[in-house]
Amino acid sequence: MTDILVAGETLVDLLPGAGETLRDVDGFTHRPGGAPANVAVGLSRLGERPAFWTRLGDDPFGDLLRETLDDEDVPDGLSRRVEGNTALAVISLPGDDDRRFRFYGSRDATFGFDPDAVPTDALTAVSWVHLGGVALTHPAGRTAMRTLAAAADERGCTVSFDVNYRPDLVPEGDRDAVVEAIHDVLADTDVAVASDEDAAATGISSREGEDLARDLLEHGPHTAVVTLGSAGAVAASMDAAPWGETTARHGGFPVEAVDATGAGDAFTSGLIARLVACADGAAPPDDDGPGDSPALGDALAFANATAALSMQDDGGMTALPDREAVEGFLAERA
């Protein structure tokens, strides 16, 4: 049985065909997606089959997503079929504008997690809980995810949180409530993942790289990972981390990218898969004091390899690699 619980949305990505702008494209290709769903499937392909608390609309897209999760060996025990149409994330064309995604469909069906249905009983069977930040844009989702994070922290689970701030999903007048919820979840988080854009937009920090990672630690986590796009990732941790007080950096792997959709989720799945192993038997810091951690550095390398492989095919979820592919990729570049 799984040792990891993932919580968050499952939706459909619409990838545009050829065209100058979205209004000009000759059609769209639909693919299963949603950041937490991508992480859950990524973990399953990496051999870390997770429990997954999610919501699926009662429309044909919901049928597709449930079938996809079944095919990916992600169990359905915590998923809920609810009334409403599945949310759609339309991927913007490069250079179309500054918006990476445009969201359509039912916010209630996809992001409106029921605070009275938080799977606290499932926490007795897991040691790691991962949450995504997008559900915090919905009032019910905010309450539910806060409750789950607090309960997981209280029960001694390691909590990881991908800030993943999506301003397009924040209703007018709700920004302060969403930002407050992000900070509340960070307070119950052990491992935080964020980009500099996420951090700046939510008032976490206006700094970058290792400075941002250290600022993230001030908000509650013992480990902070900052994604740097094509430049890889950097991480910092405190004494409370299983791998000790350390810093680590990995410059990523250059690949010919076909589609970068979901690369960040692939990174997160690889990171969690390796950190779960590190937490079970992490190497201690060097005797000379805090420094680069082999455990944390290994996790960043594995995560970057997972992300690099995911960009070599279309779709966020469909392009996720398995463990054999990631280990082979790393061995070739050793």
Instruction: Give a three-class secondary structure readout of the chain.
Output: CCCEEEECCCEEEEEECCCCCHHHCCCEEEEEECHHHHHHHHHHHCCCCCEEECEEECCHHHHHHHHHHHHCCCCCCCCEEECCCCCEEEECCCCCCCCCEEEECCHHHHHCCCHHHCCHHHHHHCCEEEEECHHHHCHHHHHHHHHHHHHHHHCCCEEEEECCCCHHHCCCCCHHHHHHHHHHHHHCCCEEEEEHHHHHHCCCCCCCHHHHHHHHHCCCCCEEEEECHHHCEEEEECCCCCCCCEEEEECCCCCCCCCCCCHHHHHHHHHHHHHHHHHHHCCCCCCCCCEECHHHHHHHHHHHHHHHHHCCCCCCCCCCCCHHHHHHHHHHCC
**pLDDT tens string 105-127:** 889 999 999 999 999 999 999 99
Residue with the bigger pLDDT between 102 and 237: it is: 237
pLDDT of residue 334: 81
Q: Percent of the chain beyond pLDDT 70?
A: 93
Read off the pLDDT band of 314 (50, 70, 90): confident
Q: With a threshold of 0.85, does the pTM exceed it?
A: yes
User: What domains appear along the chain, each with residue ranges and CATH number?
Assistant: 4-9+35-55+110-332 (3.40.1190.20)
Examine the pLDDT at 42 and tell me if it is beyond 50.
yes
pLDDT of residue 2: 67
